[in-house]
């Protein structure tokens, strides 16, 4: 999705975004900030690279990290919920992943990124997540992941309006 179209979508639907970024380290918020007039559609961006930052700033439980690992949808979901709860945003986008070689002993493929989108609505908070794998160098993976996270906002916003089920 073109950035200008996304910004129009956000404005048309009165959506304000918060980001909680690990793998992309601020690229999602940065991509949004590339658009003129984004001020009414971007509330806050958290860069939480370390496990400690995820816990301290977003309220991710250490036991979630220990049980599922840093590159997991469960951690991404906790990050998205934490960002939504700590902001004035109506949607939070989170990612955590592995842009390049995994640590020794890990079976996670390079380029694996876990995403979550938390949406605040009249029926409560709805939460969506998915895992994707991107090819390329470390920074290609990070840029691809940031663009993907933004492209999926309209999809999950529409899904949240259809489902009416709170997470």
Residue 118's nearest CA partner among 69, 82, 151 is: 82
Distance CA(117)–CA(84), nearest Å, equals 9
| Domains of the chain as residue ranges with CATH | 3-163 (3.90.950.20)
Q: pLDDT tens digits for the chain (167 residues)? A: 689 999 999 999 999 999 999 999 999 999 999 988 899 999 999 999 999 999 999 999 999 999 999 999 999 999 999 999 999 999 999 999 999 887 777 889 999 999 999 999 878 999 999 999 999 999 999 999 999 999 999 999 999 988 654 44
Distance CA(21)–CA(47), nearest Å, equals 5
Spell out the residues 6+ positions from residue 102 whose beta carbon is closer than 8 angstroms to its own. Answer: 108, 109, 110
Looking at residue 161, what is its pLDDT?
Answer: 85
Looking at residue 166, what is its pLDDT?
Answer: 43
């Amino acid at each position: 999705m073109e950035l200008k179209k996304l910004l129009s979508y956000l404005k048309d639907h009165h959506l304000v975004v918060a980001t909680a970024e690990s793998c992309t380290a601020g690229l999602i918020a940065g991509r949004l900030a590339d658009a003129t007039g984004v001020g009414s559609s971007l509330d806050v961006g958290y860069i939480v690279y370390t496990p400690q930052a995820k816990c301290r700033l977003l309220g991710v439980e250490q036991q979630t990290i220990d049980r599922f690992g840093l590159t997991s949808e469960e951690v991404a979901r906790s990050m998205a919920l934490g960002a939504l709860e700590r902001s004035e945003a109506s949607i939070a986008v989170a990612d955590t992943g592995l842009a390049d070689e995994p640590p020794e002993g890990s079976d996670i493929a390079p380029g694996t990124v876990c995403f979550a989108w938390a949406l605040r609505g009249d029926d409560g908070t709805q939460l969506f997540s998915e895992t994707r794998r991107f090819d390329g160098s470390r920074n290609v993976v990070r840029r691809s992941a940031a663009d993907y996270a933004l492209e999926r906002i309209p999809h999950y916003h529409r899904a949240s309006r259809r489902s009416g089920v709170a997470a």
